[in-house]
Amino acid sequence: EMKIWVKVPEQDKKVVSCDVIHSTAQIFWLKTNAPGEVDPRAPRTWPGGLLCLQASQIHRPPPCSTSRDESCSRFGPRARRLNRVSLITSFLRDDFRSEPKNTRVAQGETALLECGPPRGHPEPTVFWRKNGQTLDLDGSKRIRLVDGGNLAIQDVRQSDDGRYQCVAKNTVGVRESAIALLKVHVKPFLIRGPQDAVTLAGGSVEFQCLVGGDPVPDVLWRRTAGGGNMPLGRVHILEDRSLRVEAVILEDEGEYSCEADNAVGTVTASATLTVHSAPSMTVRPTDQMIELHRDAVFECGVAGNPRPSVFWSLEGNRSLLFPGARNDRYIASSTPEGKAILTLQSVTRNDTGTVVVCSAVNPAGSVAWRARLTVTSPEDHPPPIITLGPTNQTLPVKSMAVLPCSAIGSPPPVITWYKDGAPVIPGPRINISDSGTLQINDLEKRDSGLYTCVASSRSGKATWSGALRLELPTNPNINFFRAPEPSTFPGPPSRPHIVNKTDSSVTISWTRNNKIGSSSLLGYQ
């Protein structure tokens, strides 16, 4: 038996010869499909044993390989011989079972271009072209065929970007797939990311976010969760996508992140902004006037970022006192709220004129504040002065009485009330205000008496008395009198000033007040 592969295009012919030794033998061809059967459509025989087959007479086999047998028979005087020839048709269909599609892939990943070649016999071989050039798969470790005709490209690079075409080939011919574009994208990557920054309050700061990638990544700036909102109105995105924050305040402190993304990936980088502010005094130490042998206490509160270091010093003395330190009678301490305290124990007359200095310093700057100490003794101050006291009043029962008592002095005096020499006890009807005014409601006959206001301090005391008389409102023989309102009184004169002084006398002068009140001003006493 002899096998012949036949490629027969349309309208073409295939001639098969049958050679015999005896030229007198009769030769004819049979097409057999099964034992004992002859195909009635057998092709005609030409002289000399030639068989002529039209393309239309060679039926393409089904997908599996089939053969058709052509039997060459010759008959001689004594014998009959049959030679069998197998004609196997070859073919290659036009349509690809699957064709590569346009594909986008990130650099470094694996790209897969699918290709299901057309059916054919013999089975077509598959190869690929890139940009019209055949790919040399044997010389590459990254690029190979998988699952028959699919093209797998590992660790894709931008150089793999191009036009790809799947080609199928056998003895019949060549089939080419549609061209597929492989686009290799690059995930965003940082060229120069934001760096931690430290700036002073009121200044400005910039964070860079220089990124690469294909397609060009979009850049978004944000503050991390819990870090607060972006300071709108003071924040700007520059042309190079850097973030600029102007007029920085303490609340801007925190973490800022730059997020770059494109079609194939995302990259994020963060930086921390630290805002420094120079120290400022929230509680300033004040001048102190302290009595002899008492303690002088100075307070100093500061704010700033980072938290300032606070210390005390004495003007003209280089010694520094930090909280927790002690130097002789000077003790430096601090409160739970962070205030600095300087205590000078048991002041003496020599401490008068001492100037204490509270200083605060941090990397952003420094601040200092001074306070002066004056030591006094009781004899240095006059006793309190009552500027407005109670007057004699005659009031009806069941009405209300108001007895004022205002006093000044250093130290500020304490006001107490007495009735007929006994302390006045506040109750449901009796009230003493913070200013010292005594008010009695729903007056009774027993409220009559002499009321005395006493203003006292360590410097001494002052008293002012007024009588309160109560009568029935129906008594026609009584002239009731209520103390006038203080607003109707004339105003006090100006502060006296010394005009002349000698060893035994002093002359002072003052000017009258333009506020006359409800009556004529007679003079000052």
Q: Do both 431 and 385 map to the same domain?
A: yes
Please report which confidence band the pLDDT of residue 2 belongs to, taking 50, 70 and 90 as the band edges: very low
The answer, yes or no, to whether residue 43 has pLDDT greater than 60, is no
**Ranges 54-58, 474-478, 492-496, most confident:** 474-478
Provide the domain limits for residue 330: 284-377
Q: Does residue 55 sit in helix, strand or coil?
A: helix
β-sheet bridge partners, residue 454: 416, 463
pLDDT at 493: 84
Q: Which residues of 412-450 are buried (b: 16+ CB within 10 A; e: fewer)?
A: ebebbbbbeeeebeeeeebebeeebbbebeebeeebbbe
Last residue of a domain, one of 377, 398, 422: 377
Please report which confidence band the pLDDT of residue 67 belongs to, taking 50, 70 and 90 as the band edges: very low
The answer, yes or no, to whether residue 46 has pLDDT greater than 70, is no
Please report which confidence band the pLDDT of residue 183 belongs to, taking 50, 70 and 90 as the band edges: very high
Residue 98 falls within a domain, yes or no?
A: no
The answer, yes or no, to whether residue 18 has pLDDT greater than 70, is no
* pLDDT tens string 239-258: 999 999 999 998 898 999 99
Last residue of a domain, one of 354, 377, 400: 377
* pLDDT tens string 126-136: 999 999 999 98
The predicted model gives 187-211 an average pLDDT of: 93
Number of domains in the chain: 6
The answer, yes or no, to whether residue 212 has pLDDT greater than 80, is yes
Last residue of a domain, one of 377, 397, 426: 377
Q: Do both 385 and 373 map to the same domain?
A: no
The predicted model gives 260-270 an average pLDDT of: 92
* pLDDT tens string 382-412: 889 999 999 999 999 999 999 999 999 988 9
Residue 221 falls within a domain, yes or no?
A: yes
The predicted model gives 81-95 an average pLDDT of: 75
Q: Do both 67 and 117 map to the same domain?
A: no
Q: Do both 467 and 389 map to the same domain?
A: yes
pLDDT at 296: 96
* pLDDT tens string 449-489: 999 999 998 888 999 999 999 999 988 888 999 988 877 88
The predicted model gives 266-283 an average pLDDT of: 93
The answer, yes or no, to whether residue 47 has pLDDT greater than 60, is no
Q: Do both 290 and 265 map to the same domain?
A: no
Q: Do both 215 and 241 map to the same domain?
A: yes
Residue 165 falls within a domain, yes or no?
A: yes
pLDDT at 194: 94
The answer, yes or no, to whether residue 53 has pLDDT greater than 80, is no
Q: Do both 255 and 298 map to the same domain?
A: no
Residue 94 falls within a domain, yes or no?
A: no
Residue 411 falls within a domain, yes or no?
A: yes
β-sheet bridge partners, residue 277: 305
Q: Do both 143 and 167 map to the same domain?
A: yes
The answer, yes or no, to whether residue 28 has pLDDT greater than 80, is no
Residue 97 falls within a domain, yes or no?
A: no
- Which range, of 49-58, 193-202, 485-494, averages the lowest pLDDT? 49-58
Q: What is the CATH number of the domain that holds 353?
A: 2.60.40.10
Count of alpha carbons within 13 angstroms of residue 501, beta-carbon side: 5
Query: Measured between alpha carbons, how far is residue 422 from residues 144, 367, 413, 432 in Å?
Result: 116, 55, 20, 15
Residue 463 falls within a domain, yes or no?
A: yes
Q: Do both 387 and 474 map to the same domain?
A: yes
Q: Do both 245 and 182 map to the same domain?
A: no
The Cα–Cα gap between 231 and 197 comes to 17
How high does pLDDT run on average in the chain? 85
Q: Do both 496 and 477 map to the same domain?
A: no
Stretch (H or E) spanning 184? strand 180-192
Residue 26 falls within a domain, yes or no?
A: yes
Q: Contact 172/90 with Cβ under 8 angstroms?
A: yes
The answer, yes or no, to whether residue 37 has pLDDT greater than 80, is no
The answer, yes or no, to whether residue 75 has pLDDT greater than 60, is no
More confident residue, 265 or 1: 265
Q: Do both 408 and 456 map to the same domain?
A: yes
